Amino acid sequence: MATVSTSLAAFDNRPYFDKALRYGVEQGIITPERLQIIQEEFAKGIVQIANYFGTAHLRPELELALQRMVNLISLYLEDMSGGNLEIAAASLCDKTFLSHSKGGSEMLKRLHAMPDSTVIFGESASPESQRAYLDDMTVAESISLAGYQSELAIRQGNQRMIDFSFWLAKKMGVSRSAIDDADSLIRSTMLVIFVDQAELKPPTRTAFVRLIKAAKSLKSKLDDSRLNAFLKNEPTEFQRLVRQAMDRFIEKDLPQIREPGSTADKLLYGDCIQSYFISESLDEDVREYDRLVAKEWDRVTRGEADDPAVLATVFFFVATGLPPKASMLLKEAKEVIRLFRTSGFNSQAVTDFVVNHAPEAIREDLQKSWTDDLKDEAEEQLADNDPNFPDTHMDRGLDYLRKTCAAAWKGNRR
């Protein structure tokens, strides 16, 4: 009996494994002979686990492997027994010790294989990421069954949403490969169904603008007959999920759409947590979206915002306080130079113009283009503060603007 007591001392303070082992010994379920076998299997298991995560030649690694093994066995035993110590003890008696640690490991591997969000990666977990996950989970002080079950419920929910999004994708004529986030496709589908008369397919960017405009109207309400027609003859489970998704859209997403200042452009490319799925169409007029969401920007740039010369022209006008336009006359170039040499550039005005008028998706790049690329170079080229290299007649400055901007003159003319 002293041998049994000594053996049990090694497992003091071990969550569920300790309880099951002690119960089994006290109730005679686990004999001294079986306990000896458990000890031998335990020693083998520690070496295997240590080698899996690192090496069995270092004492700290062996001590950590012992902790990992106890955690894995505890997780598996409590789960399979439902918290019944008699069942857990019987399992320790009837099954190999290593099978219990493997059972806990398989539970965690299955958990890791399930999605931790509704983002769709399209690739299975790599052996390296699986090993890293097991490393994190088994080294924890306590890997409780309650924590495991909570995480399992979350991941199962994510998987349901991904499966639901694939079903919606098929119904809406979208390829699975085009979806990178289940929530965004579900949200866009609910928006399409909610807006009466909208075509039942994922919106392009310009169609999204029109959908948001329609949804913003307080008169816009869900047509139940439209929703029922969408769900006709569909599986009961998916009908339930669609109705839940629509309730969530009306409760959470619609108020955000109707907030003052909320725009289609901000919803697509701003800092909103909720994202929407957009169908990329080669047939869509690229400029049409800018016309709809950034009219002033489209007017000023004449739809040529992808031309660096046009951007430079607009920025120089704004930075010197002149009305922005897409091309620069000779007299305007001279005025830009004069104003710069008098007061410098107003970079805040450029930032404000971009924030107030440019499409959300390109604002950050536009600001970087000014601050990181254009501003410093222009300040050097347009300046006239070197007595050894004067530019009294602005020839050097005009030459720079002619090469950099959308200039409406040729050569240097005074």
pLDDT truncated to tens, each residue of the chain (414 aa)? 344 444 444 444 557 998 999 999 999 999 999 989 988 888 888 888 888 887 777 777 888 888 888 899 999 999 999 999 999 999 999 998 889 999 999 999 999 999 999 988 766 778 888 888 888 888 866 678 999 999 999 999 999 999 999 999 999 999 988 999 999 999 999 999 999 999 999 999 999 999 999 999 999 999 999 999 999 999 999 999 999 999 999 999 999 999 998 999 999 988 777 899 998 876 666 678 888 888 899 999 998 988 999 999 999 999 999 999 999 999 999 999 999 999 999 999 999 999 999 998 899 999 999 999 999 999 999 998 777 788 878 888 999 999 999 998 876 555
Q: Based on the domain organization, do 127 and 31 belong to the same domain?
A: yes
Q: Based on the domain organization, do 309 and 242 belong to the same domain?
A: no
Assess if residue 152 is contained within a domain: no
> Per the confidence metrics, is the pTM higher than 0.85?
no
119 token code pair: 């983002």
Q: Based on the domain organization, do 253 and 326 belong to the same domain?
A: no
Compute CA distances 359 → 297, 298, 325, 390, whole Å: 8, 9, 17, 41
Assess if residue 380 is contained within a domain: yes
Assess if residue 280 is contained within a domain: no
- Cα distance between residue 395 and residue 332, in whole Å: 14
Q: Based on the domain organization, do 298 and 366 belong to the same domain?
A: yes
Q: Based on the domain organization, do 254 and 319 belong to the same domain?
A: no
Assess if residue 94 is contained within a domain: yes
Helix (H) / strand (E) element for 243: namely helix 236-248
Assess if residue 400 is contained within a domain: yes
Domain boundary among 127, 143, 159: 143
φ, ψ of residue 181 in degrees (nearest 5)? -155, 125
Assess if residue 105 is contained within a domain: yes
Assess if residue 352 is contained within a domain: yes
Cα-Cα-Cα-Cα dihedral sign, residues 390, 392, 398, 404? positive
At residue 107, the pLDDT reads 95
- The SS3 call for residue 51 is helix
Q: Based on the domain organization, do 123 and 183 belong to the same domain?
A: no
338-360: per-residue pLDDT in tens?
A: 999 999 999 999 999 999 999 98
Assess if residue 373 is contained within a domain: yes
- Cα distance between residue 50 and residue 69, in whole Å: 10
Q: Based on the domain organization, do 392 and 303 belong to the same domain?
A: yes
Say what percent of the chain tops pLDDT 70.
93
95-152: per-residue pLDDT in tens?
A: 988 899 999 999 999 999 999 999 887 667 788 888 888 888 888 666 789 999 999 9
Q: Which amino acid is at 286?
A: V
Give ∠ CA 158-160-165 in degrees, rounded to 5. 95
Cβ proximity of 287 and 304 under 8 Å: no
Cβ proximity of 402 and 333 under 8 Å: yes
Cβ proximity of 161 and 153 under 8 Å: no
CB atoms within 10 A of CB 317: 24
Q: Based on the domain organization, do 242 and 320 belong to the same domain?
A: no
Q: Based on the domain organization, do 242 and 298 belong to the same domain?
A: no
What's the total number of domains in the chain? 3
**Structural domain of residue 40, as residue ranges?**
2-143
Q: Based on the domain organization, do 117 and 80 belong to the same domain?
A: yes
- Cα distance between residue 165 and residue 114, in whole Å: 16
Q: Based on the domain organization, do 256 and 221 belong to the same domain?
A: yes
Say what percent of the chain tops pLDDT 90.
64
Residue 190's contacts (CB-CB under 8 Å, 6 or more residues apart) are 245, 246, 248, 249, 253
Q: Based on the domain organization, do 38 and 139 belong to the same domain?
A: yes
Closest CA to 274 of 168, 156, 114, 118: 118
